[in-house]
Structure 1
Amino acid sequence: MSLDKEKIVQSVPQKGFFGHPKGLFTLFFTEFWERFSYYGMKALLIVYLYTEVSKGGLGIDNGTAASIMSIYGALVYMSGIIGGWIADRILGTSRTVFWGGVLIMIGHIVLAIPAGFNGVLVAMLFIILGTGLLKPNVSSVVGDLYRENDNRRDAAFSIFYMGINLGAFIAPLIVSTLGENYGFHLGFGAAAVGMLGGLIVFSMTKKKNLGLAGTEVPNPLKPGERKKTFGIIGLIVAVLVIFLIVAGVAGFLTITNVIAFISFLAVIIPIIYFTVMYRSSKTTDVERSRLLAYIPLFISAVMFWAIQEQGSTILAIYAETSTQLTYGSFTIPVGWFQSLNPLFIILLAPVFAKLWVTLGDRQPSTPQKFSLGLLFAGFSFLVMVIPSVTGDANHLTSPLWLVLSFFLVVIGELCLSPVGLSTTTKLAPKAFSAQTMSVWFLASAAAQAINAQIVRFYEGISQSSYFGLLGGISVVLGIIIFLSSSKIKQLMKGIN
């Protein structure tokens, strides 16, 4: 039986957290601790992968380590499709969030145990599945706390977004400090404790603060569907297991081949989505035009995230190998640089929100904002050419170059990312509204899948060539999108 929206809202205490429903407290700190565990682990994991075995790491070459991290990021975003389906058809969002947190915590615990590379793969599997269950659904529960016309709704998501970035900011400072200075597995253990904290907050306050929010299964599997669906899932899993066994025996199951296969999937799935939506009889002519407008924006997002996500791979390697980190008796942990992105977002997000409101009708159009995002992303890599060209092979560069690079890409992110979410909801065909939002997140998956192939070239060519080429491509694409903005806007058919 479907729950009435008003009944859900009435079950939630509506005051108690900065004038917002008490449930926002529960979700704020659940997401804070989940992001703490995720970004803390992510900042430390690449260092663990490429650090020499004699120093406690796995001794994987830098290019392969960066590829593994990129494909891991792609799978995290792709798994959100599974999480959304499970919440809609089987568990409901609240229970899906809880079990996602449990899987994430198990993954971090596995990383905290010295189990070598196989342990890393098992841990990644748990964290990928857990994040896919938790990440897309916890935001949905936030929406359940409010009536549709509640003027606190937008502010609630801003507060929630702040929780995400606070967790992402603090995590590398703690996890990387412990991991790089006192032992990698201690750092991963701290990430596990962070996720445990989120689960405790969620479990202890859920009943009192969330009421009925997130308890409904919107489109539950009927008894007949359930048997058929689980049969299909079981068949797919069996085929996959057989394929992996055969590939392993035949010698095809190598890291390189697995990365290439996942990269192919991450790129081809959005293409299939666009094709199906465009050709569907449920899509009107106006919606087809808007889909055509969305394609260059999607490509822009892929290019942007390809550069932005290299902050946690290539720039982490650059910090380790080419940056002056030791000052006197103090050495800056490599992972600390991962705190720069959320820090700048916390500082600059209110500035950009105020800027767009102040400009009103004079603000750049959606395509122009995307072009600005690409330009600043390109500049963030082009500035890294300067220390690469001006320094000599034995000279370590100032960490301020990395600070500047992160600062520039965050300006681009604030031009593109929030606008992309909003534009996706506006341009989506009515029959495919939820799936189009999945496509937006697949832009990040495709970007990191492409990165998995690109980052291998970092050590094969000069740093100036690597940063200059990728930065230049982003700038050129940004200029093309800017020059095409009026045409794209026409295809958007009245959507601003």
Structure 2
Amino acid sequence: MNSSQNEFFKSQVLGHPTGLFVLFFTEMWERFSFYGMRALLVLFLVSALGIGGWDWPRENALALYGTYLALLYLTPIIGGTLADKYLGNRLAIIIGAVIMTLGHASMAIESNPFFLYLGLGLLVIGTGFFKPNMTSFISILYKDFPEKKDGAYTIFYMGVNAGAFLGIMLCGYLGEILGWSWGFGLAGIFMLLGLLQFLFAQNIFGEVGKKPNTANKKIEADDHTEIEDKLNPFTLIDKILIAVIATAGLTWVINDPLSKIGEVNFLEFGGTDYSGHTILVTLILFVFLLGSRIIRYSRITRDKMIAVVIFAFFIIFFWASFEQAGGSMSIFAKDYTSRILSGNSALIFNIIDIIITVVPIGIITYVLFLLFRQTYKKYLISNLILAFSFILIWGVVIWKIYNNFNTYSYEISYKTYQVTATNDVGEEVTKDFAITAETKIPENAMIIDNTTVIRSANDFVKNDKISIIDLDKKGVNYKFLTAEQADLITTNIAATIVKKKENEIQIPATWFLILNSLFIIAFAPLFSKWWESKYNPKPANKYAIGLFFLAIGFAFLAYGAAGIPQGAKTASVSIIWLIMAYLFHTLGELCVSPVGLSYVSKLVPPRMIAFMFGVWYLALAIGNKTSGKLGSMIDDITTRYDISTFFLIFTIVPIVIGLIAIALNPVLKKLMHGVK
């Protein structure tokens, strides 16, 4: 053990080194920023122009969402390599945090498309530096204390979930209530604060992480001491194939949203779109490259690597379905779920919301107090930055609670005109259009008095005249205009207050995303006990159980949406279906998460570790991009069939893949040659 690690373990909080909690809070603020932005991205893109969104078709928004997620899993391969060879973990983390801070700042200027795309690009690059080096940093610090490593990672991942929970709740709330730039901006502020607290406390790690460290490249390589490791260099053909596959794959991933949004198609030649051909050929070349590498090893090594490839295949299907959370499931929450509660239901929700907000923040604040008591003398600036972060968090939370209890619901009336026309397939379709000062009403139109519910902190009385702009689909999302604004904006809709509705609240669409983090915190200890018991399932069975849980979650959504008519763009189904879906999806995640990277490290020989980790992250990227591709089919499937059918697809496919996993369990057991 070196002196740096001795120093690192000297002072402790809750039985672990204080330095671990520096990493805990750094990761927590980074995850706060990532999940806060992710919760808003698709909703912002599909929301109406008048309420600050871009009014994109859902297909385009989900194509961009899938590409963004896919690239997030590809850049860590590059960032981890640069850290190992040139930068060291610590500098790579700082570079990544700086780039991500700039990315979030850019996205706060959401009215300009250039800055949104620039922000997403910077977040992808910054994540590539940050993500792989945080986890490997812990691995290096605990290199001589393997018995403490599991506990360290448990605390670290609690930081991940705490950050995700707070980011979704607070960035989502500000984004939906005050405006999208508030939510994107808050994500950037906490990314900056996370960077600064790490920067001013980094000396707590001594010399660890300063210089490129190759010790972690073997990643638990002790398990390979009895494995024959042939000299198997990458040939010139291998390198050419890698270059071709990487170029073609990236082109396809980026071209997918670009061809829809910007009408620029790099894969169209002579009027024919070769996107499908490109990705098919790329996948065939990749399978050939992977197979040609694997067959050069001895039989036992080859078998173990084939097992990893099979696990990677399963993981594609899991994440393709699971990541509907930030895509089609967010759209379902926004447009198809009844999010208005009144009377006792509203009061109970507000109380529950306060408890699940205040209690976790109170616990984390106590951890901060313990850290401050141990480190304030040596790392005062870092501790003051952390203290300021929590003062800001508590300020936003108190304002949120106050706003929820002091915002009123009003039923309003406004006029629309109704027109009946024949669509492309000869069916008569009736549409309503809001009437503004600019509206030219067609001669055959029928004037209709409509009502909807809005929420405002203003204290109106019956018959007050107000102006609103762009009632978004169900009418519950709107932008209220002052009298001065109404005189300037000719697209406003004149409305009249019908009555004040007591004790009525609207749940933000982003609120449902916090359920994943809450359920992880609640159920992770139980699953941990399960994995340590004699009933611990075989790896393939864990995947199968995870996929079955995933299918059950989507089955709830399919059942809940069964009454929504074909082609409907809005509805008001119970919130219980989304809550149950997130519960079972989280249980599925807890089954799949422990299997992944640990089996790569146990099964793969040291010389192939980097390549196979690349394969694993590629599988995650494919799964995430597939989630966007499948999610973008929501409108097409809803129009042809209904939205229940859309979710039924995500019910059936995981069940089929789960059954395949169970059938392959004896094969995988044989291929793993005793590795557990």
The interval holding the TM-score normalised by the smaller chain is: 0.7 to 0.9
Which residue of structure 1 lines up, in the alignment, with residue 290 of structure 2? 274
Deviation at 1:266?
9.1
The answer to whether 1:317 aligns with 2:317 is no
Moved over 4 A (4+): 247-251, 257-270, 391-395
SS in 2 for 1:396: coil
State the Cα deviation string for residues 120-139 of structure 1 (Å, max 9, x = none): 11100000000111011011
Conserved in 2, the CA contact under 8 Å of 1:71 and 1:263?
A: no
Match runs of 1:353-392 below 5 Å? 353-357=528-532, 359-360=533-534, 362-391=535-564
**Counterpart in the other structure of 2:661:** 481
Change (3 A) 1:39 1:254: farther
User: 1:268 and 1:26, CA in 2 relative to 1: closer, same or farther beyond 3 A?
Assistant: farther
Contact 2:564-2:644 at 8 Å conserved across structures: no
d(CA) in 2 for partners of 1:54, 1:466: 29
CA deviation digits over 1:83-134, x for unaligned, max 9? 1111011111110000100010100000112442222111000000001110
Residue 376 (structure 2) pairs with residue 196 (structure 1) = no
How far off is 1:372 after superposition?
Answer: 0.8
**Could you tell me which residue of structure 2 aligns to residue 229 of structure 1?**
none
Residues in 2 aligned to 1:299 and 1:430: alpha-carbon distance in whole angstroms = 22
Among 248, 265, 273, the residue aligned to 1:252: 265
Give the 3-state SS of the residue equivalent to 2:16 in structure 1: coil
Measure the CA separation in 1 of the matches of 2:56 and 2:70. 20
Tell me which residue corresponds to 1:331.
506
Q: Could you say if the C-alpha distance between residues 334 and 262 of structure 1 is closer, same or farther in structure 2, counting changes exceeding 3 Å?
A: farther
Are residues 1:15 and 2:11 paired? Answer: yes
What is the deviation of 1:484? 2.0
Q: Specify the SS of the correspondent of 1:151.
A: helix
Equivalent residue runs for 1:366-445 within 5 Å: 366-391=539-564, 395-445=571-621
Contact 2:5-2:141 within 8 A present in 1 as well: yes
Residue pair 1:101, 1:199 contacting (<8 A) in 2 also: yes
Q: 1:128 to 1:395 in 2, by over 3 A?
A: closer
Find the counterpart in structure 1 of residue 183 from structure 2. 187
Q: Return the offset for 1:11.
A: 4.4
Quickly say closer, same or farther: Cα 1:30–1:339, change in 2 above 3 A: same
The residue identity in structure 2 corresponding to 1:252 is: N
Partner of 2:674: 494
Partner deviation per Cα, 1:126-178 (whole Å, 9 max, x = no partner): 00000111011011111222243442211001000100010001111100111
* Residue of structure 2 in register with 1:471 after alignment: 651
Matched AA of 1:389: A
Give ranges in structure 2 of 5+ residues lacking alignment.
Answer: 216-242, 343-503
- State the match for 1:308 in structure 2: 322
Gap change, CA 1:120 and 1:260, over 3 Å in 2? farther
2:138 is matched with: 142
Q: For residue 251 of structure 1, report the CA deviation from its aligned partner.
A: 4.5
**Which residue of 2 is the match for residue 223 of structure 1?**
none
C-alpha distance in 1 between matches for 2:116 and 2:94? 23
1:217 partner amino acid = P
CA distance in 2, matches of 1:115, 1:264: 37
How has the CA–CA distance of structure 1 residues 113 and 265 changed in structure 2, closer, same or farther, with 3 Å as cutoff? farther
> 1:342 is aligned with what amino acid?
S
Query: What amino acid sits opposite 2:543 in the alignment?
Result: F
1-structure distance, mates of 2:284, 2:111: 34
DSSP-derived class of the 1:389 partner: coil
- State the alpha-carbon separation in 1 of the partners of residues 280 and 593 from structure 2: 24
Q: Secondary structure at the match of 1:459?
A: helix
Q: How many residues align?
A: 467
Structure 2 residue aligned with 1:224: none
Identity of aligned residues (%): 31
Q: Secondary structure at the match of 1:398?
A: coil
Code of the residue aligned with 1:212 in structure 2: it is E
1:483: how far off? 2.0
- Change over 3 Å in CA distance of 1:272–1:133 after alignment to 2: farther
Contact 2:335 2:571 in 1 (8 A): no
Cα-Cα RMSD:
2.9
Residue of structure 1 equivalent to 2:92: 96
Partner amino acid, structure 2, of 1:371? A
- Listed as ranges, the matches of 1:117-128 within 5 Å are 117-128=113-124
1:7-45 CA deviation, whole Å, 9 max, x = no partner? Answer: 442342433222222210111000000000000000011
Q: Is the 8 A contact 1:259 1:452 kept in 2?
A: no
Could you say which structure has the greater relative contact order, defined with CA pairs below 8 angstroms and 6 or more residues apart?
1
Residue deviations 1:243-282 (CA, integer Å, cap 9, x gap): x9xx999953599x89979977996796466335414x4x
Does 1:85 find its partner at 2:78? Answer: no
Question: Match of 2:206?
Answer: 211
- Find 1:344's aligned residue among 506, 519, 526: 519
Q: Could you tell me how far apart the structure 1 residues matched to 2:98 and 2:276 are?
A: 30
Matched residues in 1 for 2:644 and 2:175: separation? 31
Counterparts of 1:84 and 1:269, CA distance in 2:
25
TM-score by length of 1: 0.87
**1:285 equivalent in structure 2:** 299
- CA change 1:375–1:28 in 2 (3 A) is same
Greater fraction of residues in helix: 1
Tell me whether 302-311 or 371-380 shows the greater mean CA deviation. 371-380
Per mean C-alpha deviation after superposition, the further-off stretch among 23-32 and 476-485 is 476-485
Residue aligning to 1:230 = none
Cα drift, residue 66 of structure 1: 1.2
Contact kept, 8 Å, 1:23 with 1:145, in 2: the verdict is no
TM-score after normalising by structure 2:
0.65
Is 1:133 aligned with 2:129? yes
Q: 2:102 aligns with which of 100, 106, 130?
A: 106
Displacement after TM superposition at 1:428 (Å):
1.4
Q: Which has the larger radius of gyration?
A: 2
1:227 is aligned to none
- TM-aligned CA deviation for residue 285 of structure 1: 1.6
Shift of 1:351: 0.6
